[in-house]
């Protein structure tokens, strides 16, 4: 809780404060239908009920080697796409992580309150260091302390994350607890926020796995920016079963997934969808799912095209947000530095 809130509560004013949410996503090029349904779309909804701060985690992204030109393009495209999906800078703060200097600074401090053993236990580090065995850099190892800094700088109450980030959030909580234990209350200890609704979208080629942009088979995922004909083609090729009956069932992972996607984009229940396609074949159903997805992404793509062509507008948005984020996070950084014993600037 911030100092102002505490004071105003003590005076009996404004007992309600919106909880603060922080989240970030890496600018890795392709944003899939899975990312949209599982993360992005939820962020958009959260904006009305929470005090939201979001970032494009471009500092995190260089733990794997990036081509400078493509990297710059991916960062801007991620920013524009999120705005196109409905992140609204009138309601939320939405910035590029590298534009707010406090992140790297607090990350350094927190590195000194994080144990080698703790970081060694991170499963993502173990996975990634096997996968990129030629570049096991120190950043890959300390990545979770940067993520902790992202969250703790804003005194976030809640952090929307996917299951793969739970261990990192747990570490952020431990670091906050440890620091608070040594110096007195400095950081809010954040909770994970797993949205109630949020289907797990599965791969179109192997529906037992989640849809992931890192899948080398491009037919396995649908990108929000895929052209309509590409989306249609990918759905037509989706793996199904031999029963030829549109209904939810065991051993029908492919059809279950398509029904899930249809439900996620149209808001219809599984029962409504099943009733609608009774007696119809998989071919018709696949086309209908593709059309529903195309309709969902069409307005996003139109807004994206306008935004990406308007660099001045984008710049205005990320600059203003970075200024606000710097102000908020500087207070936390100053507080932490004072507690450690640094001389005030």
* Annotated catalytic residue 45: no
Write out the DSSP string of 175-202: HHHHHHHHHSS-S---EEE--SS---PB
Site string for ligand TRP, 101-140 (x = CB under 6 A): ----------------------------------------
| Least distance between ligand TRP and beta carbon 97 (Å) | 7
Q: Which two three-digit tokens encode residue 78?
A: 């991620």
Residue whose structure tokens are 């593709």: 290
Asked if residue 25 binds ligand AMP (CB under 6 A), the reply is yes
Residue of 202, 210, 234, 286 marked active site: 210
* Annotated catalytic residue 210: yes
Residue whose structure tokens are 């009956």: 245
Considering the complex, state which of residue 153 and residue 261 has its C-beta at the smaller distance from ligand AMP: 261
Site string for ligand TRP, 27-66 (x = CB under 6 A): ------------------------------x--x------
Q: Which of 83, 96, 211, 220 binds ligand AMP (CB under 6 A)?
A: 211
For residues 262 and 270, is the Cβ–Cβ distance under 8 A?
Answer: no
Residue of 213, 245, 335, 339 marked active site: 213
User: Cβ neighbours of residue 275 under 8 Å, at least 6 residues apart?
Assistant: none
For residues 288 and 277, is the Cβ–Cβ distance under 8 A?
Answer: yes
Q: Which of 24, 46, 211, 273 binds ligand TRP (CB under 6 A)?
A: 24
Considering the complex, state which of residue 160 and residue 254 has its C-beta at the smaller distance from ligand TRP: 160
For residues 205 and 257, is the Cβ–Cβ distance under 8 A?
Answer: no
The span of 18-26, 230-238, 245-253, 306-314 binding ligand TRP (CB under 6 A) equals 18-26
Asked if residue 55 binds ligand AMP (CB under 6 A), the reply is no
Residue whose structure tokens are 């207070």: 331
Asked if residue 23 binds ligand TRP (CB under 6 A), the reply is yes
CA dist 293 and 287 (Å) reads 10
The span of 31-39, 54-62, 262-270, 324-332 binding ligand AMP (CB under 6 A) equals 31-39
Asked if residue 39 binds ligand AMP (CB under 6 A), the reply is yes
Helix, coil or strand: residue 165:
helix
CA dist 136 and 130 (Å) reads 8
Asked if residue 246 binds ligand AMP (CB under 6 A), the reply is no
Q: Which two three-digit tokens encode residue 237?
A: 């090729």
* Backbone φ and ψ of 278, nearest 5°: -65, 130
Q: How far apart are the first and last CA of the chain?
A: 25
Asked if residue 175 binds ligand TRP (CB under 6 A), the reply is no
Residue of 18, 91, 126, 128 marked active site: 128
For residues 266 and 235, is the Cβ–Cβ distance under 8 A?
Answer: no
User: What does each C-alpha distance from 88 to 38, 79, 83, 85 come to in angstroms?
Assistant: 19, 11, 6, 9
Instruction: Give how many residues touch ligand TRP by CB under 6 A.
Output: 13
The span of 158-166, 227-235, 274-282, 288-296 binding ligand TRP (CB under 6 A) equals 158-166
* Annotated catalytic residue 91: no
Q: Which of 51, 77, 150, 226 binds ligand TRP (CB under 6 A)?
A: 150
- Selection from 145, 83, 73 nearest residue 114 by Cα: 145
Residue ranges binding ligand AMP (CB under 6 A): 25-26, 34-35, 37-39, 161-162, 200-201, 210-213
Catalytic residue numbers?
A: 128, 210, 213
């Amino acid at each position: 809780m911030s100092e102002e809130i505490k004071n105003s509560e003590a005076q009996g004013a404004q007992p309600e404060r919106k909880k603060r949410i922080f989240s970030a996503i890496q600018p890795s090029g392709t944003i899939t239908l899975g990312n949209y349904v599982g993360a992005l779309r939820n962020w958009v909804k959260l904006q009305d009920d929470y005090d939201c701060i979001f970032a494009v985690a471009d500092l995190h992204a260089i733990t794997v080697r990036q081509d400078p030109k493509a990297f710059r393009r991916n960062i801007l495209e991620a920013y524009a796409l999120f705005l196109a999906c409905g992140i609204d800078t009138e309601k939320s703060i939405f910035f590029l992580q590298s534009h707010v200097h406090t992140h790297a600074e607090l990350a350094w401090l927190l590195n000194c309150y994080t144990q080698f053993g703790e970081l060694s236990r991170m499963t993502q580090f173990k996975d990634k260091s096997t996968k990129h065995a030629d570049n096991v850099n120190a950043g890959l190892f300390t990545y979770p302390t940067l993520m902790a800094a992202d969250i703790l700088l804003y005194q976030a109450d809640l952090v929307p994350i996917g299951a793969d980030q739970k261990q990192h959030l747990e570490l952020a909580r431990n670091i906050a607890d440890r620091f608070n234990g040594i110096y007195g209350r400095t950081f809010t200890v954040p909770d994970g926020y797993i949205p109630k609704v949020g289907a797990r979208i599965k791969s179109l080629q192997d529906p037992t796995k989640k849809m992931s942009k890192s899948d080398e088979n491009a037919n396995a995922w649908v990108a929000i920016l895929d052209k309509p004909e590409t989306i249609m083609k990918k759905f037509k090729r989706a793996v199904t079963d031999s029963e030829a009956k549109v209904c939810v069932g065991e051993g029908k992972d492919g059809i279950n997934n398509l029904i899930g996607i249809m439900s996620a984009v149209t808001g219809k229940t599984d029962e409504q969808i099943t009733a609608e396609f009774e007696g119809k074949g998989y071919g018709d159903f696949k086309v209908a799912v593709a059309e529903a997805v195309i309709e969902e992404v069409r307005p996003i793509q139109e807004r994206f095209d306008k935004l990406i062509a308007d660099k001045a507008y984008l710049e205005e948005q990320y600059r203003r947000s970075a200024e606000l984020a710097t102000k908020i996070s500087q207070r936390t950084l100053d507080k932490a530095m004072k507690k450690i014993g640094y001389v005030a600037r």
